[in-house]
Structure 1
Amino acid sequence: MEIGYFLSCEEYGPHDLIEQAKLAEQAGFDALWISDHFHPWTDTQGESPLVWSMIGAVSQVCSLPISTAVTCPTVRQHPAIVAQAAATSAVLTNGRFRLGVGTGEALNEHITGQRWPDADVRLEMLEEAVDVIRRLWTGEFVHHDGKHYTVEKARLYTLPDEPPPIYVSGFGPKAIEVAGRIGDGFMSTSPSADDIAAFRKAGGEGKVTEVGYKVTWSEDDDAAIDAAYRTWPNSELPGELSQVLPSPKHFEQASELVTRDMIKDSIAYGNDVDRHIEAFTPFAEAGFDRIYISQMGGREQATHYRGFFDFYGGTVLPKLRDAAGR
């Protein structure tokens, strides 16, 4: 099992993300996830740098493998452009880049004025997009006239020695079936052994499974809970809201239904080592190969990320690895 760090482009700006990548490597994390957003979920989170610029910058200061978590290669970004961006990222990272893809959210994808399709159509688009990306990674000229995408006499000239793996996120049976069938790996945020089993059954046997979750470190428990409640109330919104709400303001309005106690009961907070180990345990017991942890709070919040890396690097990571048998 590997334990990674999740770089949150929604709440940290470019310079902080670069520093976090360096601190993650120094603290002993094994790999990085990085989110791919046009908008943050809420205005309080307040950031949203371009992920491809960030990967290029991180590649120059950090040697950890890095994955997008996740890129939507269907509406805002044409799959041919994603193919080029991912290939360049793989070259810059010396083959340590992994392309994580999913069907996305209206929050980020509606901005070009295209209609936001329903879930079944989005899965169909994703499958076609992944095929286009892999064909372009062959280095051959590609002409594609598909149901959703057109690619006309396109060829990528800057390519890594080996194409990066494509990991597919899946929430619900249909998405997990697609992930097992077309993905080189599976990505999730749920500690579900059943989801892993469904992925394996759909064609994912022997493939990598990854999962991510959030914590909030602080020397003060109340400050940690307050910071998480300020910045990530949307994490407790149910159902498909995260896929269909179109703007940070809508997420703020929906998040008025989320209470501070709901956040407190759903996260690891403060500097209690046992509490952080308990948060990790369900994901490890579910059987994921890689588990990514993100520090909530934002740079100016009470929970500063440097303290998180000191806490995890010096105390928590060794205990997590002991618990995981490493």
Structure 2
Amino acid sequence: MTKFGYTLMSEQSGPRELVRYAAAAEDAGFDFEVCSDHFTPWLTSQGHSPYAWTVLGAVAQATSSVELMTYVTCPTMRYHPAVVAQQSATLQILSEGRFTLGLGSGENLNEHVIGEGWPSVQVRQLMLQEAIHLIRALHTGDLVTWEGDYFRVDSARIWDVPDQGVPIAVAVSGDSSIDKFSDHADHLIAVQPAAELIEQWDDAHAGDSRKIGQLAICWDPDEKAALERAHDQFRWFGGGWAVNADLPTPAGFEAASQFVRPEDVAETIPCGPDLDKIAASVKEYLDAGFTDVALVQVGDEGQTRFLDEAAGPLLEKLRAL
């Protein structure tokens, strides 16, 4: 059965608001909730970036049945993989088995803040492979001493480990990342409805797996207001992943996105009150083979109204697909 999720977008909302939205999204009928994990928002106008793990701990207590996921955490620079192993084990216990650890190779925007530079994508992927190995070893609850090319642990043990373990999903974007992570991850994360990506993953990955996508939408009764908000908050996406992963600051994203027009945003983000148009965009992911799709309702403004008025009818349309 296809699952539909709600995104706790930490770059556009404060921590208390995110917890409130999480409870409302569960009440509205979403199957799962994903939370972004940034140190810095992409654009200054977004204005937020609370600590995702604290937010998720609170969300685990404010909800009872909805699944939870990081979308995504980078366990290689700002966090040591041993820390992510402890964070995710604790969250799995707090949520009573509802958590999936979503991982990625990171963005310069968040990871440069520790002052250790920004490696090439090839190095970042090798670091992520090693990090996943360590996280899985520590999730056994055994005492681990290990040294690799990028990380070491010395007599490390996670004392509170969940009986059911922690499933791991990894963000991939093409042949290289699929080759590196299909044997390391349980599930796939991707943000484009590319059928060839799903086919390559299924060919390379042993066993069943979820394919978890994400789509930005901007529902509002006023289509003009929706488009203005989407352009203000989400025009940063226009450069594509190859650019976005390497820009270091919101000022860089402001400069890179200065020529992105509202009509450019409208081509990618369905804006306005038309739920059928939103459903048609989601269907592209289903047709490509995704098993899960998380929606991003753009902007803090209007979240409560979206959850109260539009989420239920939209989910009905999506499940009818």
* Counterpart mapping for 1:202-221 below 5 A: 202-221=204-223
Q: How many residue pairs end up in the alignment?
A: 319
Residues 23-32 or 235-244, more deviating:
235-244
Residues 5 and 292, structure 1, Cα contact 8 Å, conserved in 2: yes
Residues 40 and 47, structure 1, Cα contact 8 Å, conserved in 2: yes
* Counterpart mapping for 1:118-267 below 5 A: 118-267=120-269
Deviation at 1:178, TM superposition (A): 2.2
1:62 aligns to 2:63 (yes or no): yes
Distance 1:199 1:271 in 2: 35
Deviation at 1:202, TM superposition (A): 1.7
TM-score by length of 1: 0.96
The C-alpha deviation readout for 1:239-283, integer Å capped at 9, x for no partner, is 511111101110111010211110112111111121111111101
Aligned to 2:314: 316
Distance 1:312 1:206 in 2: 33
Residues 8-17 or 195-204, more deviating:
195-204
Deviation at 1:312, TM superposition (A): 3.2
Distance 2:101 2:269 in 1: 27
The C-alpha deviation readout for 1:128-170, integer Å capped at 9, x for no partner, is 0000001111111110111000101111111111211000110
- The secondary structure found in structure 2 opposite 1:249 is helix
Matched AA of 1:73 = P
* Counterpart mapping for 1:12-31 below 5 A: 12-31=13-32
Structure 1, unaligned stretches of length 5 or more?
Answer: none
Residues 29 and 312, structure 2, Cα contact 8 Å, conserved in 1: no
Aligned to 1:92: 94
Residues 89 and 161, structure 2, Cα contact 8 Å, conserved in 1: yes
* Counterpart mapping for 1:39-58 below 5 A: 39-58=40-59
Identical-residue share of aligned pairs (%): 37
Distance 2:160 2:52 in 1: 19
Counterpart pick for 1:76 among 72, 75, 78: 78
Matched AA of 1:315 = P
Deviation at 1:201, TM superposition (A): 1.5
Distance 2:191 2:163 in 1: 31
* Counterpart mapping for 1:257-296 below 5 A: 257-296=259-298
Deviation at 1:184, TM superposition (A): 0.3
Query: How much is the aligned-residue C-alpha RMSD, in angstroms?
Result: 1.1
Residues 237 and 258, structure 1, Cα contact 8 Å, conserved in 2: no
Matched AA of 2:226 = A
- The secondary structure found in structure 1 opposite 2:183 is helix
- The secondary structure found in structure 2 opposite 1:129 is helix
Aligned to 2:7: 6
Structure 2, unaligned stretches of length 5 or more?
Answer: none
